[in-house]
Amino acid sequence: MALSDKNSPDAGDGEGDETQGPVTRDNSGIDPETDEVREPEVEETEGSEADDAEEPEIVEAEIEDIPEIPDTPEWVVSEAINADERVVELTNDIKRVQAEYANYRKRVERDRVAVREVATAQVIGELLPILDDIGRAREHEELTGGFKAVAESLEATATKLGLVKYGEQNDEFDPTVHEALTLVPVPNIAVQSVIEVFQPGYRIGERVLRPARVVVGEPMGDTPEPSEEDSDEASAEKGENEK
What's the pLDDT score for residue 221? 67
Q: What is the pLDDT of residue 30?
A: 66
> pLDDT confidence of 228, banded at 50, 70, 90?
low
Q: 21-58 pLDDT, tens per residue?
A: 555 555 556 666 666 666 655 554 444 554 554 555 55
Q: What is the pLDDT of residues 83-105, one digit of tens each?
A: 888 888 899 999 999 999 999 99
Kindly state the average pLDDT of the residues 113-117. 85
Rounded to whole angstroms, the Cα distance separating 162 from 134 reads 18
Inform me whether the pLDDT recorded for 233 exceeds 60: no
Does residue 16 have a pLDDT over 70? Answer: no
* Domains along the chain with CATH numbers: 163-222 (2.30.22.10)
